[in-house]
Structure 1
């Protein structure tokens, strides 16, 4: 655990220097900032001895939606591709990670505010014009691996613009057979203890599976069909609970 923790700390410190060095090579555009995040996350995975096996075509634009297990998802998905995340507003207040997320182009949303959702939808519409995907977790929260019905509101910018929407499933496989949920960060568990537990865990890898991009005419249909696609890719049973649209 100590070796991983030291390596992780070193990577995070180096990432700060690399961000400021970006300005020496030209404007820190949103695309360049997304690639900075990708390069940092590749190094983070190496420092934590996490391998990622990718199946399917990695998206280069449009919307990407994924199931949500932990903060590790963000690192794994970012390492696979440059992208802009939509994240809960609370992350913006986290030490280091909040500023790093904002520097990388993350869009923060207050999920209890209609005004915030509308503002974020407008930002997503603008980002969809760039050659970098926008990624969000339609469950609205992380889980123990049991999927919750997708909320449909943030699909709307993709519907209006006719952007391709790609489903992505993520799974953790622990080498000693420990259940995936032991790596999931959900409920009321604090961040720091969970990170220490993750650093002390036996070897594991992530399985990332991208579906085929599709264009949808209705946001509820898009939410339900990408949900069903990810359930199949993960081979899990969803919890059939209603979520706000």
Structure 2
């Protein structure tokens, strides 16, 4: 896994030296490397991977439930997206480098920066990027969906952006290995990354993950961010077993 991930990162950085001057934010080449690397991780780990539905091609954003660090691979393996993440992730060893290289948008939970972040979202969306964020605001045990926070949805109601874009809800469903706790792949609360990573990698048998794409929601069809967030939350929750 390390060879595949960091080998792909090296190739991506080299290709970006040519891609950036020619295309700027567009990134027509490097996301293909990201998808290939993330897809390769699952057979290496022995986790079965399945996709239901299809990612949208229209201008817009993607919202999903947040279960684990595995979400990065699950959601990147089947679509071209750019994650929205808290600023602290940029400083995490190893992961921060990967996040920066793949075009992650880092934000601070500071109301004073809300306008600047909204402008950044709009710039990236109008550039054709599908930004992906987790409206729950934190990860869970994978058996439930927390209420979606509507704050980031406000960025979709500026300067007529709501007239041209859609939001696609996505549900990530993890099934634990046979005989394990149903929450096996969940990484939440005060769990440390290292021990959880080792537990998953050391499992003699693995489970599966399914990524479910729901029909995109037209932003203009909803009166405001709260209604849009609630509709996305209902679709994401509805695809979880039980």
Q: Same fold (TM over 0.5)?
A: yes
- How does 1:139-218 map onto structure 2 within 5 Å? 139-145=136-142, 146-160=144-158, 161-162=161-162, 163-201=165-203, 202-216=205-219, 217=222, 218=224
Residues in 1 aligned to 2:230 and 2:202: alpha-carbon distance in whole angstroms: 37
Go from structure 1 to structure 2 and tell me whether the alpha carbon gap of 1:116 and 1:42 turns closer, same or farther (over 3 Å shift). Answer: farther
Partner of 2:7: 14
Partner of 1:4: none
Partner of 2:230: 224
TM-score by length of 2: 0.86
Residues in 1 aligned to 2:118 and 2:44: alpha-carbon distance in whole angstroms: 35
Q: Is the 8 A contact 2:9 2:101 kept in 1?
A: no
Deviation at 1:129, TM superposition (A): 1.4
Q: Is the 8 A contact 1:169 1:234 kept in 2?
A: yes
Q: Secondary structure at the match of 1:128?
A: helix
Q: Is the 8 A contact 2:175 2:207 kept in 1?
A: yes
Deviation at 1:23, TM superposition (A): 4.1
Q: Is the 8 A contact 1:34 1:105 kept in 2?
A: no
Deviation at 1:75, TM superposition (A): 1.1
Partner of 2:61: 63
Alignment partner of 2:240 out of 234, 237, 245:
234
Partner of 2:96: 98
Aligned pair count?
228
Q: Which runs of 5+ in 2 are unaligned?
A: none
Deviation at 1:79, TM superposition (A): 0.7
Alignment partner of 1:131 out of 128, 134, 147:
128
Q: Is the 8 A contact 1:33 1:103 kept in 2?
A: no
Residues in 2 aligned to 1:69 and 1:177: alpha-carbon distance in whole angstroms: 20
Aligned Cα root-mean-square deviation (Å): 1.9
Q: Deviations over 1:136-162 (max 9, x none)?
A: 000000011222110011112223312
Residues in 1 aligned to 2:67 and 2:9: alpha-carbon distance in whole angstroms: 27
Q: Is the 8 A contact 1:55 1:208 kept in 2?
A: yes
